[in-house]
Chains A and B, each alone.
Chain A
Amino acid sequence: GQNIDQPTEMTATEGAIVQINCTYQTSGFNGLFWYQQHAGEAPTFLSYNVLDGLEEKGRFSSFLSRSKGYSYLLLKELQMKDSASYLCAPLDSNYQLIWGAGTKLIIKP
């Protein structure tokens, strides 16, 4: 079957760094997306990895290891507005996104 595993909730302090881990099992693999979703809003795109390694984009970086079925999202210099759910979504062989429940990130001052 297809499965996504992320922590349900994480708490971090404003200005700090946090790493959100994701492990996945999918039928085929065509890359992995990270989305941010604020409460009551639709997901917004953060990053896409298809090759192993680290992709850096401003305060956000995403890492992928295809052999391990593992990815992480790294958020630096945390701001209060980063409080949201972060969704790890691999793309399967049919180019469909597989969604987990996401990780709710709480930022404290």
Chain B
Amino acid sequence: GAVVSQHPSWVICKSGTSVKIECRSLDFQATTMFWYRQFPKQSLMLMATSNEGSKATYEQGVEKDKFLINHASLTLSTLTVTSAHPEDSSFYICSARESLDYNEQFFGPGTRLTVL
């Protein structure tokens, strides 16, 4: 149990385009989902915390107008990178916290974004 999927696994896009990444909890309901970014050889960096039905809470330094997060249901959250630029190329990982368990976060497999 407790499986989180992400789609797509990897994406290559041109500079200036927008990319949407989906994160789904497959066998549990997730009232909270987290979006992370990880550059090579660096630690995971929390971008935002997403609660179902409410606006996401962004970490300091993360542009909310550039990284649009929608958490419309208990099993789906989306991250849209708008007007992507090469510096946005990174590994984006989502995690989900089960609604009745505030502790463990279950991670998706990640999405590798390359902006040309």
The answer on a CB contact under 8 Å between A40 and B103 is: no
Q: Give, as a whole number of angstroms, the nearest-CB distance from A38 to chain B.
A: 11
The answer on a CB contact under 8 Å between B91 and A95 is: no
The answer on a CB contact under 8 Å between A42 and B110 is: yes
Is residue B42 within 8 Å, beta carbon to beta carbon, of the partner chain?
A: yes
Within 8 A of A (CB), among B64-116: 91, 93, 97, 102-110, 112
Chain A residue total in the interface (Cβ 8 A): 21
The answer on a CB contact under 8 Å between A99 and B43 is: yes
CB < 8 Å neighbour of B103 from A31, A42, A43, A102: A31
The verdict on A44 contacting B107 (CB below 8 Å), with A95-B102, A96-B49 known, is yes
Residues of A within 8 A of B108 (CB): 42
Closest partner residue, chain B, to A104 (CB atom): B41
Q: Give, as a whole number of angstroms, the nearest-CB distance from B34 to chain A.
A: 8
Report whether over half of chain A's contact residues are helix, strand or loop; otherwise say mixed: loop
Within 8 A of B (CB), among A45-64: 45, 48, 50
Residues of B within 8 A of A102 (CB): 43
The verdict on A42 contacting B42 (CB below 8 Å), with A48-B103, A95-B103 known, is no
The answer on a CB contact under 8 Å between B91 and A40 is: yes
CA distance A33 to B41 in the complex (A): 20
CA distance A10 to B91 in the complex (A): 24
